[in-house]
Amino acid sequence: MVARETNPNFMNGVPELLILRLLQQEEMYGYEIVQAIRSRTDAVIAVGEGVVYPVLHGLERDGALTSRRKTVNGRSRIYYSVTPVGSHRLADLSQAWTNLAAAIQTMLAGGQHGEALQ
Amino acid sequence: MVARETNPNFMNGVPELLILRLLQQEEMYGYEIVQAIRSRTDAVIAVGEGVVYPVLHGLERDGALTSRRKTVNGRSRIYYSVTPVGSHRLADLSQAWTNLAAAIQTMLAGGQHGEALQ
DNA sequence: TTGCGATACCTCGAACCACGAGGTACGATA
DNA sequence: TATCGTACCTCGTGGTTCGAGGTATCGCAA
């Protein structure tokens, strides 16, 4: 129960959000997503395969993603794309995240509630 | 395993962060904290007592908080204050949150990694 | 005075999710 | 022929949030 130094986990629901966001920009496969998240956040966020694959399967089961198998260099990859359902889900999550981040930012900045700026 | 609609949980570690932040500004008791979080975030964030009390106890056990009992209007309250340890913890969590929020913001904005601004 | 709602504390079990370890398989390079 | 990188996957563990429930006191209203 001691030090869990590596990554203080604020990360709940974040993987799903990031994966949807990446896939909305461009079709990708699981292994690629793992690396993309790491590299595009300069390793601030690093999710393992044990996180990515289950999320991918869950999103596909919910109809938020579709997949197609494709072989490249003799390697079989499963590419995922977002469906309209997934796009909607991304919009929701994105909005929720923005609200949350703003609320926390306000509190960290020392803000009393309805005060200042309008 | 069905719908968990209520609150898409991105909230990991957030309660701890917010509680420390509030207590750094001012000594408070549990019940008050529950309401303060709700009101200062305009109900964007609402943590129940079942979240606050355990966090309070955990932080005190870790030496991040101290408590003193005080009776007001015949009501017994337990006021908490942050210790130097807690203050340090807040600084760490705060920093981690800021980094995370920035990284996610970048990805949501569609950013390729090391691109733009220097 | 009886009842109810607000205040104030608490705990427990369920659900969820991230994580790491581990496992398979194939291609290329050493 | 090893070993590394690619590429997929699952399972168990543990940490955290959440809601429901429990106790007790105060003040107000019926």
Answer with the residue of higher pLDDT: B11 or B51.
Answer: B51
Mean pLDDT of chain B: 89
Size of interface A-B (CB pairs under 8 A): 109
Give yes or no for a contact between A62 and A75, defined as CB atoms under 8 angstroms apart. no
pLDDT at B8 over 80: no
pLDDT at A15 over 80: yes
- What is the distance in angstroms measured between the alpha-carbon CA of A4 and the sugar C1' of D4? 30
Q: Which nucleotides of C are covered by protein (CB under 7 A)?
A: 7-13, 15-23, 26-28
- Quick one: what percent of chain B has pLDDT higher than 70? 86
pLDDT at B1 over 70: no
Instruction: Locate the chain A residue with the closest alpha carbon to B103.
Output: A41
CA distance A37 to chain B (A): 9
- What confidence score (pLDDT) does residue B44 get? 94
B93 CB below 7 A from strand D atoms: no
Question: Does the beta carbon of A41 lie under 8 angstroms from any beta carbon of chain B?
Answer: yes
- Quick one: what percent of chain A has pLDDT higher than 90? 81
- What confidence score (pLDDT) does residue A115 get? 47
pLDDT band with cut points at 50, 70 and 90 for residue B83? very high
pLDDT band with cut points at 50, 70 and 90 for residue B81? very high
pLDDT band with cut points at 50, 70 and 90 for residue B5? very low
- What confidence score (pLDDT) does residue A112 get? 54
Q: What is the pTM of this model?
A: 0.90
Residues having Cβ less than 7 A from any atom in strand C: A 6-7, 9, 11-16, 47-51, 54-55, 73-75; B 1-2, 4, 9, 12, 29-32, 49-50, 53-54, 56-57, 72-73, 75-78
Question: Does the beta carbon of B43 lie under 8 angstroms from any beta carbon of chain A?
Answer: no
Q: Residue range B44-55: average pLDDT?
A: 96
Closest by alpha carbon to B16, among B53, B44, B41, B43? B53
Across the interface, of B44, B105, B113, the residue whose CB is closest to A100 is B44
Answer with the residue of higher pLDDT: A110 or B61.
Answer: B61
* Digit-coded pLDDT (tens) for A22-52: 999 999 999 999 999 999 999 999 999 999 9
- What confidence score (pLDDT) does residue B99 get? 94
Q: How far apart are CA B37 and CA B78, in angstroms?
A: 17
Question: Does the beta carbon of B102 lie under 8 angstroms from any beta carbon of chain A?
Answer: yes
pLDDT at B42 over 60: yes
